[in-house]
Amino acid sequence: MRDSAFPAKLIDKFGRHVDYIRLSVTDRCDFRCVYCMTEEMTFMPRKEVLSLEELYQVAKAFTELGVKKIRLTGGEPLVRTDVMALINKLGALPGLQELLLTTNGSQLTTFAERLKKAGVTRINISIDSLKADRFRRISRVGKLDKVLAGIDSAIAHGFERIRLNSVVMRGYNDDEVLALTGYALDRNLDIAFIEEMPLGEASDHSREDTTCSNAWVRAQIEKKYQLVDSTTRTAGPSRYVQVMGSRSRIGFISPVTHNFCEDCNRVRITVEGRLLLCLGNEHSVDLRAILRDASKDMNDLKDALVASMDIKPERHYFYDRDHVQPVRLMNMTGG
Ligand code: SAM
Ligand code: SF4
């Protein structure tokens, strides 16, 4: 049968095994974070966005090719109408070991229970400030109390290893590194500090002025806490340390100052069905064209995924200011 012709694994030409996808379920969001979006955003026309069924078909094809981990992202995944219908189906996909979600937390009080029941294993919640006025400045429209309630709700529903994500930006929230760390530690949560990436033009600031290196962030934390390098390694730009005397881990996601591309195990699917083989390059495959071609089926989709491995770039060049960076904003990319 044709099915048996498919390798169980997706392996690129550098020998890297792709077993993790980040699936963007919407480019829309109830926030407008300064590092991610412009204030006046134009979103994709709905007909260009993959339907929930198309998103499911993509996820199914990947899991049949050995993908074990799916992260749902966006935009804000929880603002997509009927997103739970998709999440429930994904949670039942054979072979899938981890179903993860990255969210801004604003809707978690409504969704936490259903996400847990659907089989979502872990949640990352973004929070860049613990001061309400500043939180609003960074997210442009977000309400801090809703996000804090969302975090409490995720904790109450027993999600394992909830991780907070904070983008540290000079002049915006660089004086809150210790406060954010303390907030996470008090609740036994993990926290990851993310270097601002040059994806698209930021409209409120020049990224050159705001980007803080994680080496600097770590030095701030070490003024108060003793950090022990963790043996946990993930195949991505995150490196974790353990805080002495605490269950929490601190992650440093350093795409700008470090390059961990040799371990890369992931690809992204944008909301219009573009399979993006690297966050920092434009190499992609149009999966939507295959999904919407009545003469093509699941085998054609899988063929395209296997073939895409040949164009996965070796690395990104975020640290190289002379290199032309993608014009895509993060909400279009799927964080
Ligand atoms: N809306 C959800 C959220 O905010 O968590 C999921 C999508 S968001 C694009 C995913 C992650 O990307 C968030 O943690 C956000 O802080 C981060 N992010 C967005 N734009 C970024 C940028 N230019 N540089 C670094 N991180 C960015
Ligand atoms: Fe929305 Fe997340 Fe982008 Fe903020 S980072 S604007 S919450 S998608």
pLDDT tens across 119-150, in order?
999 999 999 999 999 999 999 999 999 999 99
Atom of ligand 1 nearest to the CA of 195: 25
pLDDT number for residue 330: 65
Chain position carrying tokens 């700008």:
256
The yes or no reply on domain 10-333 and CATH 3.40.50.300 is no
Distance CA 146, CA 176 (A): 19
Q: Does residue 328 register a pLDDT over 60?
A: no
Under DSSP, the state recorded for 103 is: E
Distance CA 147, CA 127 (A): 8
Extents of the domains making up the chain: 10-333
DSSP 191-260: EEEEPPP--S--SSS-HHHHB--HHHHHHHHHTT--EEEEEEE-SSSEEEEEETTSS-EEEEE-TTT---
pLDDT number for residue 263: 84
Mean pLDDT of all residues in the chain? 90
Choose one of 213, 330, 331, 333 to mutate for the ligand 1 pocket test, by most ligand atoms within 8 angstroms of C-beta: 330
Mean local confidence (pLDDT), 165-170: 96
State pLDDT tens for residues 270-297: 999 999 998 777 788 999 999 999 999 9
Q: Which phi-psi region, left, alpha or beta, contains residue 204 (left: φ > 0; alpha: ψ -120 to 50)?
A: alpha
Atom of ligand 1 nearest to the CA of 36: 20
DSSP 147-159: HHHHHHHHHHTT-
Q: How far is the CA of 94 from the centre of ligand 1 (A)?
A: 29
Q: Where are the beta strands (DSSP E) in the chain?
A: 10-11, 17-18, 20-26, 69-74, 98-103, 122-126, 163-167, 190-194, 227-233, 238-243, 249-253, 266-269, 274-276, 284-286
Does residue 13 or residue 200 have the better pLDDT?
13
Distance CA 5, CA 217 (A): 48
pLDDT number for residue 334: 60
Query: Radius of gyration (Cα) for the chain, nearest Å?
Result: 19
Distance CA 101, CA 99 (A): 7
State both tokens at 298.
């699941």
Percent of the chain with pLDDT over 70: 88
**For residue 258, what pLDDT band results from cuts at 50, 70 and 90?**
low
Q: What are phi and psi of 125, to 5 degrees?
A: -120, 125
Three-state DSSP class for 314? coil
**For residue 207, what pLDDT band results from cuts at 50, 70 and 90?**
confident
Q: Does residue 320 register a pLDDT over 60?
A: no
Does residue 103 or residue 278 have the better pLDDT?
103
pLDDT number for residue 2: 45
Choose one of 71, 126, 328, 333 to mutate for the ligand 1 pocket test, by most ligand atoms within 8 angstroms of C-beta: 126
Q: Does residue 190 register a pLDDT over 90?
A: yes
Q: How far is the CA of 28 from the centre of ligand 2 (A)?
A: 9
Task: Name residue 126's amino acid.
Answer: S
**For residue 217, what pLDDT band results from cuts at 50, 70 and 90?**
very high
- Strands 238-243 and 249-253: what pairing? antiparallel
Q: Is 139 in the pocket of ligand 1 (CB under 6 A)?
A: no
Torsion of CA 12, 13, 17, 23, to 10 degrees: -20
